[in-house]
Amino acid sequence: MKKGEDFAKLAKEYSDDPGSKDNGGVYENAPVSSWVPEFKKAALTLPVGQLSDLVKTEFGYHIIKVINRQVPTLEQLSDQLKGQVIAQEYNQFMTNELQKIIKKINLPEK
């Protein structure tokens, strides 16, 4: 790769990663929060366009090339936070409040 070979072609040929192999080694718009710490650190600190050294994680060895970084907009973050708050409130309601509201459960017997 350091000789100018095509990263996508090499990834498709040599990668064992089912999540990116068929996509030329690309993780486009992937949620960074789900990455293992070693991979996350390398991907977030590597300069754009530069090829990493080997990065070892619990899943094996990786060579990373950051094509670009996009910082989420305030609107995108706001939508994500709204969704998280709604899910959290719903789960709390289902766990803590619903049983207090139900007076009787009438299910047909078989």
Question: What whole-number distance in Å separates Cα of residue 27 and Cα of residue 19?
Answer: 8
pTM for the full predicted model:
0.56
Per-residue pLDDT at 56: 94
pLDDT per residue as tens digits for the range 52-99: 999 999 988 988 888 888 777 788 788 888 988 999 999 999 988 888
pLDDT of residue 2: 62
Read off the tokens for 18. 């089912």
Q: Read off the pLDDT of residues 36-57 as tens digits, 9 standing for 90 and up.
A: 999 999 988 999 988 899 999 9
Q: Compute the average pLDDT of residues 91-109.
A: 86
b or e along 15-44 (b: 16 or more beta carbons within 10 Å of the residue's beta carbon)?
beeeebeeeebebeeeeeeebeeebeebbe
Nearest in space to 57 (alpha carbons), one of 78, 74, 85, 34: 34
Answer whether CATH 1.10.150.130 is correct for domain 7-62. no
